Structure 1
Amino acid sequence: MTNMKDEIERIGLGPNARKFKEMFEGQNSDASRSIDVVVNQFFDAKFDFIKRQKGEYNIFAIKGRVSNVTANLFKDKLYDAACEDECRIIINLRDVSLIDSVGLGVLINTHKKADKSGGMVVFSNVPERIMNNMEMLYMDRYLHFAPDMKKAAQMMNW
């Protein structure tokens, strides 16, 4: 068994959304519900990004929308990991509900940076609807996709 270094880092609700909600704490319940709706729509409050180091793999899990609103929350972490020599990165997209053009740009740039440094990025557990869009855009010919985490790890060890 390999020496497994487990390092978990998590990004949840963005700082702007937290500040916005704090401004309205103590308001009546109708106002609180309205604020929750606004925060969820404009700040992607249900967004989460988890980084985990497991052995030689950097594993990232994204939950929510990969969009122009959320990209700044995680792109630097992806780019830093991708610039490491011979990096092995698995990005689990199981809980992603949407990828817009900015989000797709971040994923493509991560792939390019890893390729340039002799590494590899594999996207795993891609929801069917998103995978259909990736195929329509011919991204399946450029990016690496695996049906699950185990297959993603196997792709890197061929």
Structure 2
Amino acid sequence: MIFWYRKCLLLSMTNINESMNRFGLGPNVSRLQENVEKQNSDTSQTLDAAVNQALEARFDFLERQKGEFTIFAPKGRISNATVKLFKDKIYDAARYNGCKIIINLRYAVLIDSVGLGVLINSHKTADKNGGMVVFTDVPERIMNNLSMLYMDRYLHFAPNMKQAAKMMTW
């Protein structure tokens, strides 16, 4: 049985190599590999840095005070690479007694687990200090993901800024 399996595997590998040569892919693959090897060796090391810079460049974070409300509006990906740009501001605002924070997610593209952790911690901190955080204008795709995680039962959501302000009148 094992012999038969090895024979089939060897035949399939031979067929793949023959197909690559038949379609002219074999020499192209080796040329591509040679070109990659000729490039600067630190190119692969800086690729991750370039990707992170590109993602951070598209991220923006707006903060505004309107009366008793502190409004935050992240734009782009709320991820491990971008939370360092705004988490201290949100946490500082959540530490005030009776804080009223609105986080407008209209322009958020993605929220990863680290970004979600920052949003949950800001909610917890505000709640502990007698304040409230309300998330508003959440894109449908993000809201569906948050609902699957049962965050709609834990966090406060409003369809728009006006409704968010109404939720915080106590």
Q: TM-score, normalised by structure 1?
A: 0.74
Identify which of 52, 68, 77 aligns with 1:56.
68
Structure 1 match to 2:132: 120
State how 1:21-100 maps to structure 2 within 5 Å: 39=50, 41-43=51-53, 44=55, 45-100=57-112
Distance in 2 separating the partners of 1:62 and 1:92: 7
Kindly state the Cα deviation for residue 42 of structure 1 after the two structures are TM-superposed.
1.3
Task: Report the Cα offset of residue 157 of structure 1.
Answer: 1.2
Q: Distance in 2 between matches of 1:132 and 1:81?
A: 27
The CA distance in 2 between the partners of 1:50 and 1:84, in whole Å, is 19
May I ask how many residue pairs the two structures share in their alignment? 121
Which structure has more strand as a fraction of its residues?
Answer: 1
Determine the C-alpha separation between the residues in 2 that align with 1:110 and 1:65: 18
Give, in whole Å, the separation in 1 of the partners of 2:166 and 2:130: 17
1:137 paired to 2:120: no
Instruction: Give the structure-2-normalised TM-score.
Output: 0.69
Query: Structure 1 stretch 125-134 or stretch 42-51: which is displaced more?
Result: 42-51
Q: What's the RMSD between the two structures over aligned residues?
A: 1.4
Q: In structure 2, what is the Cα distance between the partners aligned to 1:42 and 1:86?
A: 36
Residue identity in the other structure for 2:126: A
Structure number with greater CO (CA < 8 Å, separation at least 6) is 1
- 1:106 pairs with 2:102: no
Higher relative helix content: 2
Tell me how far apart the structure 1 counterparts of residues 157 and 58 of structure 2 sit (CA, whole Å): 25
Q: Give the letter for the 2:146 counterpart.
A: M
Question: 5+ unaligned residues in a row in structure 1: which ranges?
Answer: 1-37
Q: Deviations over 1:115-155 (max 9, x none)?
A: 00000000000000000000000000000001110010011
The structural deviation recorded for 1:51 is 0.5
Alignment-mate amino acid for residue 92 of structure 1: N
Query: Matched residues, percent identical?
Result: 70
**Deviation beyond 6 Å, 4+ runs, structure 1:** none
Amino acid in structure 2 at the alignment position of 1:48: D
Inter-partner Cα distance in structure 1 for 2:169 and 2:147: 24
